[in-house]
Structure 1
Amino acid sequence: MINTLKLEKDDWFNRLYGLKEKWCTALSKDFFSAGILSSQRSESTNHAVGFKANKSTTLTEFYSIFQATINRWRKTEEKDDFDCTRGIPTSELSMRAILKQAANIYTITLFRDFEEEFKLSVASSEKFKGNVGRTMFFEVWIEGITGSRQEVQFKMEDSTVTCTCKNFEESGWLCFHCLRILHLHSINTILDRYITTRWTRYAKKQIWKRVDTIKRKKGKSTILLVGDYI
């Protein structure tokens, strides 16, 4: 746009382009964001808080609304935590080894996302494109779905798999492209390097263990900063 419209001397456009990694989705997939766009974060906040507030809402009324919203979030989180500890989620699919593992380690919500990727992997096709040394290159896609074709690299010596869609780097769980290639090589478990702790059932337990460890090292009276253990 800058080149086409000859905006090289426009400070605003040049400054915006200089920040392209912060707003351009194609350039931000190497950074973990849980798959949430910046616009979605603001929209979610507006939906959660703004549904009872308007321009005439007083500060006192807004505080009450916000406090009620926080209480609702906490109750929902407590219910989700309880549901996760009650049992293992089931699937309409045959519970293969990789799905059983996912059901045991992931939260219920994340398991449903992983289950969807698994379904897509079953419906996808792959094509071997060649290899460089011990690294193999594949194309994986779903017939009839535009934009589903991606390139997957698979290293045989350590079963490392990477995909150009960058779903794991951005969201924290394997995409159907990677799952297809892992299945092709008879790898029926999720390797530890592809299990993001924050999506697991024991995420909170590990955080509090780290908090307790830091407290013991620094002394109980020490005030801990978030950065000490996150």
Structure 2
Amino acid sequence: MTLPRHHPPETLLLEYATGVLREAQALAVATHLAYCPDCRRQAALLDELGGVLLEALPPEPLPPHALATAVAQLDEAAARSLVHVPDPGNTRECPLGGLVVPEPLRGYLARLPHSSAWVGISDGVLALHMALGRAPVVAEILKMAPGSALPVHRHSDQELILTLQGEFSEEAGPHSAQGGCYGVGDLGEFEGGSTHTVVAGKDGCVCYRVLAGPVERLGSD
């Protein structure tokens, strides 16, 4: 198995290790870790370092109502955490058929509601929406036919793309210095303000994509 070549930046790993990422983004990072032993070690180190720093802090007296506030925060965190489980009575088998997808994404796909359906978003590109988090965050599986492409678009906020099968190339536009080819396990992070398109390889591509904000389409469908 070829190891990933594109990894989340250290700032994203730190946000993951400290638990501040939203569910959709955390799912992308956690699934990348299943592919990438180097990032797993780095995330574990960041997690351990955070624990050491917490232990080194001097104790402080608790403010009034601290317990009630902490319980409320825990409830909110649990609602958006990676252990969230949808209603098991309204689920189906993994919509990607025989494609082997690692946890935790595999479990999320297996628990998608029966009403979930593929929707065409451009020629040769289908999207399967995943209800993770609140608008404007969009989480979806993209299934791209060989050589198909997304319209050129500009991001208002971060985009994460994790490749699950095949590969895609990112063709950078104005204000984007990235570009490159992304294979299985690779996680691409594209910042707000960047302009680009994504083109599937000769065997097509299946990806998990998270948009933190709306995109502006600049090309024709």
Say which structure is richer in strand.
2
Fold match, TM over 0.5? no
Q: TM-score, normalised by structure 2?
A: 0.31
Scaled by the length of structure 1, the TM-score of the pair is 0.30
User: Which protein has the larger Cα radius of gyration, Structure 1 or Structure 2?
Assistant: 1
